[in-house]
Amino acid sequence: MTRCRWCGMDSQDPYVCEWCKRVMATGQPAPPGYKPSPSAPSPTPSSEPTIATPPAAPATPGNPSPPSGVGATPMGPPTPSATATPMGPATPPVAATPMAPSGAPRPVPTTTAPPPGQVRILYEIHEGLPFYLRLERFLAVVLPLAAINVLVLSQRPEWALWSNLIYFFILGMWMPGSHLIGTIDDAEDYRDVALVMVLSLFCCGPVGALVLYFLASGILALILKTDINWSLIGLLLAYTIARIVFDLVLILIDFEEVGDFLRVGFSFVDFFLVVALFGGWLFGGLVRSD
C-alpha cells in the first residue's frame, strides 16, 4: 500500500491513487483510460517527489516488460514495445510504438514523464514557493504599507485606531495570500483565534498575548500531543512586531507612553485590532487562489 500524498488515502496502485485518481508523483490527474497494471510491483517504501512516471503500456504478450518502476532502471535491453522511457533525463520521451502492425491491439494512451525541471516547478506550485520567496512577497506589501502607516501616525496620531485597523486587516489578509501561513480551516483554528481574542480583550497587549498563547500551546503540545498552530503564532508575531513599531511612533511624538503599550487589563483597542487581523486572515483564506 502506498499513501497518496495528495489525498492521504492508501492506494494499492503505487503510481496512480485509486481514490483521487492523481499521479502519485506529480499530482496531475491520471490520463484518461488509465488502468492499473496487474503486474504492478509492491509499492516502494518511499517515493521521491521528483519522480513522475505512471505505468507505461501493458506488457506485450510473450515479452513481459518490466514494470516501469519508480526510479528503477530497466533490467533488460529496451524492448521495442516500450512506450515510455522511465526516467532518463536526457532521453526524449517516446509516445507510442510507431511500427505496430494493423492487427495488433491498440496500446493504451500513456503520458510521458515530464523532465525533472518541470516536475520541480509543479512540486513548488503545489507545495508553495521556498520560504524566503514567500517571505519576500509578504514583505513587499507589508513594509511599504507600514511606512505609509507610520507617516499617517506621525502626522495624525488621533487617527491611529482607524489607520491601524486598515493596516492589520491587510496584513492578516496578505499573510495567507502570500502563502506564508495557512488559512483558517478547522475548529481548532477557530478555537485558538477565540482564545487570542479573549486574551487581547481582558488580559494583556500584543506581547503578552503572544507569549501566553505560545506557552499555552507549547504546554498543550507536550501534554496532550496536540499540534502547535504555527500559522497563528506567525500571524501574532507579525502583528506584535508591527504594533511595536507603530506604538514606538506614538511614543516618539509624545502621544503615548511605554506604559500604554505594555498594558495589563481590559482594552477595546487591542481587541479591535486583533479582530481586524483575524478578519483579514479569514478573508484572505477565502479569496486565496490555491
Partner 1 sequence: MTIWAIRTLWILGALALIAEMFLLANPRYRVPAPSEWETFEARRFSIRKPKRFRAGDVQFGRLFALPDLALASDDVGFYRGRRTGFEVYFRPLLDTSNPLNQLTLQNNPNVQVDFAALMRKRHDERIAALRDDPSYVNFRELKRSLVTVRGVRGIRSDYEYVLPHPIPLFNMPVHGYVFTALLSEREVIHIHAYCPTSSYDAYQQVFDQMLGTLTLKKEGGAP
- Taking the least distance from each CB to partner 1, the nearer of 94 and 269 is 269
- Taking the least distance from each CB to partner 1, the nearer of 245 and 282 is 245
Rounded to whole angstroms, the Cα distance separating 164 from 257 reads 17
Place of cell 477565540: 194
210 binding partner 1? (CB under 8 A):
no
For residue 147, give the C-alpha cell: 511606512
Q: Exposed, middle or buried by CB within 10 Å (0-12, 13-18, 19+), for 238?
A: buried
158 binding partner 1? (CB under 8 A):
yes
289 binding partner 1? (CB under 8 A):
no
Q: How far is the CB of 159 from partner 1 (least distance, A)?
A: 8
Cα within 13 Å of Cα(130), Cβ side: 4
For residue 288, give the C-alpha cell: 486565496
Return the number of other C-beta atoms located less than 10 Å from residue 92's C-beta.
Answer: 9
For residue 39, give the C-alpha cell: 503486474
- Taking the least distance from each CB to partner 1, the nearer of 204 and 233 is 204
114 contact partners, CB below 8 Å, separation of at least 6: 26, 52, 122
- Taking the least distance from each CB to partner 1, the nearer of 146 and 228 is 146
Could you give the string, one character per residue 113-142, with x where binding to partner 1 holds by CB under 8 A and - elsewhere? --------------------x--xx-xxxx
Place of cell 488515502: 9
Could you give the string, one character per residue 230-269, with x where binding to partner 1 holds by CB under 8 A and - elsewhere? ---------------x--xxx-xxxxxxxxx-x-xx----
290 binding partner 1? (CB under 8 A):
no
- Taking the least distance from each CB to partner 1, the nearer of 91 and 154 is 154
By the criterion CB under 8 A, which residues form the site for partner 1? 133, 136-137, 139-147, 150-151, 154, 157-159, 245, 248-250, 252-260, 262, 264-265
